[in-house]
Structure 1
């Protein structure tokens, strides 16, 4: 049996982060996913899908995603039920996310998200220390550097 879900959509509100009594983080959010077709009156419709994610990824979702953020969710469908305060049985269907991908740069259009599951990819290259060997490249190592002269290639050298 297979129970896998892959979604791409925008958050309808900021994620809600809570902690269980044992200290495990859990974040809930709703993803608006556009349908690939228009209704009879020509309007595009969307499905609003409840999602939940646990532990460290839940904290990352709460820290890096906001209302309107574009996100990709991979997980499984889960159904559960409970009895509410009025004594009625309530059924819940939601996506339990295994991973959430942040699909926009952090500051694009005022929406906040990162470039990866943990929102750190955008800063990765900026925080790396340069390799000294790479900074000492000689110009003659690159045969095309500073070359304003045409390159001599015959038609026999071309693969097409």
Structure 2
């Protein structure tokens, strides 16, 4: 298999308001975390168990500005992006690591998981256009003709 894929899709709730920084070069960056939950039934006790995972998200430029203006603690959002791990040394000289999702698509969702009124997916300015030969397929509802 040629190539590789680094793609993350998450739907979760913000744990706190985004932290916004304006860099010297004029770029804006937003850092925030979202929680995703998985529910399952414990085989031994039969009780429902909820397990929450926290994900660190980084949004740049236009997406950071959207995050600054429109999302806040508790909001449900849809994120697409890629994983990136940063490495640095702490004050004691120990290597430290942080894995983050660098987002290139952010959609604000309502509390029920439905998009808010007039909500459109917001893509990063760096998003690449689709290749010329790539086709989009219609859903079965859009085309009532049967193929046979």
| Of 4, 16, 20, the match for 2:19 | 16
Question: 1:60: which partner in 2?
Answer: 66
Q: Which has the higher helix share?
A: 1
Structure with greater strand percent: 2
**How do 1:7-86 and structure 2 match up within 5 A?**
7-38=10-41, 41-86=47-92
TM (normalized to structure 1)?
0.63
Aligned pair 1:116/2:116, yes or no?
A: no
Alignment gaps of 5+ in structure 2 = 123-148
Structure showing greater relative contact order (alpha-carbon pairs closer than 8 Å, 6 or more residues apart) = 2
**Runs of 4 or more consecutive aligned structure 1 residues displaced over 4 Å after TM superposition:** 38-41
Question: Structure 2: how far apart are the matches of 1:11 and 1:67?
Answer: 5
Backbone CA RMSD of aligned residues: 2.4
Max Rg structure: 1
User: How many pairs were matched up?
Assistant: 113
- Structure 1 pair 49–38 and aligned structure 2 pair: CA distance change class (3 A): farther
* Aligned counterpart for 1:90 among listed residues 96, 114, 130: 96
The gaps in structure 1 that reach 5 residues or longer are 119-160
Change in 2 beyond 3 A, CA 1:88/1:39 = farther
